[in-house]
Amino acid sequence: MQRKTLVISGATRGIGKAIAYQFAKDGVDIAFTYNSNEQIAKDIVIDLEKNYGVKARAYKLNILEPNEYKEVFKLIDEDFERVDYFISNAIISGRSVVGGFAPFMRLKPRGLNNIYTATVLAFVVGSQEAVKRMEKTGGGSIISLSSTGNIVYTQNYSGHANAKASVETMVRYAATELGEKNIRVNAVSGGPIDTDALKAFPNYEEMKKMVANRSPLGRMGEPQDLVGACSFLCSDTSSWLTGQTIVIDGGTSFK
């Protein structure tokens, strides 16, 4: 994987940051997006280049405007010679999910549309742009981060769960159509992971205890817990694995 290039959305914190750092440790150059944390993004670029000897660059992207990916990838073309891996990770929270992060009877079209845009449409447009570059180097690997919230009931999560189910369907269709280009497409579905986004849940403490009780491993997931699967799916070790969703949830979707 050394000297190849990863493009990942939303890598200034949480799962995205953990993935970016692991890939950098493996010698992969990193192109990542951020929404508003420009200084944090700059600090991460400096840290990755200084400590791991890779090339790193950060690009501003509003995930609610997926077509911005087209301009972002043009900038990536100026900074990097190739694109080998694309991971769609960025999510939205706060005001943009009002009406989408709520009980069923309080769901509103705007909030639901925003979540769908940031999850599914952003995956589609980002992947399309990545594919154009991967074709030039003979193939690549695309991953969408998903969530077990679409198979296990999670309070207030129906808007996100619906979008995650949709993106997993899109992953299978993309895998079927892109296989002939030697491009594999998969999803990594995490159980509840202890991130800033989860801390925004009104019942965070209750959920954390519930997850730890449900998991045979007795704890909630951490961002680092999803990194290994992403690394595996981008490596030659998984060369015959495509169109799949790998569930990493500490056993919570069974118990």
DSSP for 182-233 reads: TEEEEEEEESSB-SHHHHTSTTHHHHHHHHHHHSTT-S-B-GGGGHHHHHHH
**DSSP three-state, residue 140:** strand
Q: Which residue matches tokens 């990755």?
A: 48
* Active-site residue, 204 included: no
**How far apart are alpha carbons 194 and 94 in whole angstroms?**
17
* Active-site residue, 74 included: no
The pLDDT of residue 23: 98
Q: Which residue matches tokens 């992969």?
A: 28
Residue of 60, 164, 173, 209 marked catalytic: 164
Domains of the chain, by residue range, sit at 5-248
- Residue 197 binned pLDDT confidence (cut-offs 50, 70, 90): confident
pLDDT in tens, 93-125: 889 999 999 999 999 999 999 999 999 999 999
Q: Which of 47-61, 75-89, 124-138, 212-226 has the lowest mean pLDDT?
A: 212-226
Residue of 157, 181, 204, 208 marked catalytic: 157
CATH H-level, domain 5-248: superfamily: NAD(P)-binding Rossmann-like Domain (3.40.50.720)
Q: What is the pTM of this model?
A: 0.96
